Structure 1
Amino acid sequence: MKDLHTSLSSLQEKLDSFSFNELSVKQADALRGVLNNFKKLLVNRSNAQATSSSSQNTLQGKLITEANSEIKKPLHGILNNTEKLLKSNLTMEQEKIVKEIQATSNTILSVSEDLIGFTTNTTDSNLSIPIKFKNVVNDVLFLCNTLITNNELILNKEIDKSIPEKLIGDPSKLSQILLNIVGNSIQTTAKGQILVTAAVKENYTDNVIVEFNVNDTNGSISDDKVSQIFDIYSQDKSKLGLGLNVAKELVESLNGSIYVSNRESVGTTFTFTIPFKKPLKPVTAFNIANISGINVLVFEDNKLNQKLLEFKLDKWQCTSFVTDNYKDGLEVLENNIIDIILMDMRMPEKNGDEIAEIIRTHHNVRISNTPIIAVTADEEIQKSTEFNTSNFTNFLLKPYTSEELLNTLLEQLQKNASMETLTSNHINDHGETRKLNLTPVLNECMGDLSMLQELVKLFKNNALEFIGKAIVHIKNEDYEALKFATHKIKAGLKMMKTDALFESVLQMENAIKDDVDVKHLNFLYNCFINEFPLVEQQLDEELLRLAEEEL
């Protein structure tokens, strides 16, 4: 609180010393007024806390919440105005003051956010932005190095080269965690070395877990004190902000973990892990070339979004069909071969889920199998009970960047490629379902039609059993049982020459071999259940044809 008050006073002095020629009198007075009011609020609340220890936590929480709300807007206004001022004709002295105002304003914003994050102890304020990992770590350690005034203490680092250069994460929290932990070691270690290491602990397709170790030669911590080291009420008061307990809170807010190990008279090691997302592949000419020429149907009711999507798809040399009317969209599907559908979940007349259901149950298999990407602002949609998410092959969260849109389309095209064999097996060049021919199977039955009829009946029962069991296994994530079910039904599908059903099951089997792609698995399952009634009808027609031929 004292730091925040000092920063405000410093900012006010800089504002007072700066010429407001570039601002109106009203704007300048507004800036000064906001700062004065905020300072009064700080003083009043701080005094109230000092005289009422029983309500300290409540008052502090209220103060921080009000302070954060009241200070952020004017600070952003100050930063915006300083940006404008730097572009104008300033003297060297004025430019120096403006830059100092910027730096101080950013400091206040950072302190304010740290305070609100500690007070509310929430995790939904995490930033998720591209960061240059090594730069963030090096910058913090450079700052920590300036804190060392003892010639007998050195700070070293070892950063694993296998850590990706760019990651997605919260640089502010990462910096604060390192600053608090390394700063604590600097304060408590009289001589020797502090070694900071960072290495990949686990590496996945979309994310990486980085393990940090801060090892010092501070041997003054007794073994019985180690378990209390993160306790705000037990640890020694730290000169670094809110101390080690805040570092622990911040690590856990990032879905990480932290612990400390100690060898009395030897040293202490703080170990913590933090997960980071890997950035999407950048938009390149190669990526754009891969997407060129595809047909995209867009269901979107916002005129601005329609215009922007149309513009982007045109730039990528795609053919786009944009509509806010589900009937017009279905007409487009019937008259054009569409590669991908972008479906906004909130549409007039019928919502995106209802339109997707109409598409999935369409009598034309080419249409019913068209990949549909749900476009939504609901981050929890995949867990939602409001929508039938199995109708969608992928999800694109709003607001999204051009890079995210392009990569989502490319990802879907890769899945489309795996479906080409399936499509060619059940659709002819005119978009009609291919006809089954049971004559080869009848020959295997040595011309016995009644035997063929028994096989067809058994086949239908096995297929229905598979449909029932497969959906249960998918929902329960029991992929071993699903694998067994696919293996069990494949022979019958092959025997009956139902190539499209066989390909669906084969791809389901492949989808659960390595990393399970649940969205694609649901899509393949829907392909099977949409195809089966058509196959069932054709089997009956074939049996009737063969019976008539026998007569």
Structure 2
Amino acid sequence: MKLNDLHTSLSNLQEKLTRFSFDELSAKEADKFRNALNSFKSLLEDKNTIQGNLNNLCTANNNLVNKTTLEEKQQTLQSLLVTAANKEINVPLNGILKFSEKLLKSNLTMEQERIVKEIQASSNNILTVSKDIIDYTGNDAIGTNECTTIKFHNIVKDVLFLCNALILNKSLKLNYTATNTIPNDLIGDPSKLSQILLNLVGNAVQTTQKGEILVVSKLIEETNDKVFIEFTVTDTSFGISDDKLDAVFDFYSQDNSSLGLGLNVAKQLIESIDGTISVSSKVDTGTKFTFILPFKKPVEPTRASLSKGIADIKVLIFEDNKLNQKLIELKLKKWNCKTFITDNCNVGLEILENNPIDIILMDLRMPGKNGDVIAEEIRNNNDLRVKNTPIIAVTADHDIRTSTEFNILNFTEFLLKPYTSDELLSTLLEQIENNANMETLTSNHINDKGDVPKINLTPVLNECMGDIGMLQELIRLFKNNALEFIGKAIVHIRNEDYEGLKFSTHKIKAGLKMMKTEALHDTVLQIENAIKDDIDVKHLNFLYNCFVEEYPIIDQQLDDELLRLAQEA
């Protein structure tokens, strides 16, 4: 079965389980939940009859006469026959499941309910075997490997999320740990990695009634161009007896643990990408599968290719040392950057106001006004474009991040002296990526004069049926919510409580939209997006600061607009 089919079939289930716990589902929602599962089990259904499929087999046989050997024809016909037969098995089984669901909703005695559930369990077991056979016979991709850059941790977490969604037994938990030495960017086959984990973890879910399924990944070996990652899938099932342990990877084996083709397919997939797998088990204790997969390392980009990412950017440099001025100017010009160099605060501010500067490099210790004082003046500038310009502090103080001498909140990044060309380049590239996000915000929020667009509350007043008093109360509540968000969001960011931050953004979004404060609404949406995948704390702080800086302007605009509407009334 292809991975994208699985993702499609589970999308409804994933959506529902994200919003509700299983116990909180209404009858209608429970129906949707069951339909999602049945959709997953019915992917391979087909309206054709056995006779129609056998006719197809004959046609296929005739077409193969002059193209394949006798052995190939037999294998192809066997595969098609198995597929056709299993499709026909699925049709009545899903009918049984459908009617048993209806029975469970009726008034049954405890004994009748037990029998219906046993019928469901038996039907599901047969469906699992049927699916395994289809997977095995139709798995044409085992012999081919896809090599592409993958996000390792994202793939593993996504697969385990799907597996966890299928665990309805509250006595069973699925947990995952990974060593932080495993790089996230690797080169491998994402489909095979997903299928291997789905088969092995799915097997553990099927065979374990209570306790824990623990998945662990760790880096065990690293060469110049490869990493070898070991996975273990440990469960607290009834275990497998010694006399049956050697057969668990056979074409099909089954004992009281209901092991099936999934393990055989997983073994073939692992070996197809030069991996290894082993199993150990103890009866009444549990089973542990261990497999090792090799991945290639991505080729590190050269400095020349990286420098293309900062070509044509405008950099303002505050530096008083003439030698340092020449060195940094030489490097930046070689990377096709446009540079402005000064050691004077007033000159630098004039450059900022007259040129769309992308990044400021600020030497912290200069004669006269030091870099910290100049950065403070920039942050207090009335022009939002100027005050939000990223400032990289250049310093030899290795304790700068914990320094009380400087206001480190004025700086978006720190570059420690002596720094290499590669360190300078990577720092600039990181800031350019953040700049792109900032430009999206400022283009929506700020006009050519650096002003936030005016708010029009006339539509809101209309919703209040022309009642100024009601509008005034809405504005008061809105301001309370905004101030609450400002207070709580910074605490969530500092504590890395991203679930709390997500809740705070969700809580304030509707109010921002209702009060037509599009600038703040866009900022909150960007905060939401920033906590979905790989979290960049510096970017989160930047977005939060955007909200904090824009709110006083919005606050005053709301008061002005309320006064205007009151006077017109």
With the length of structure 2 as denominator, give the TM-score of the two structures: 0.47
With the length of structure 1 as denominator, give the TM-score of the two structures: 0.48
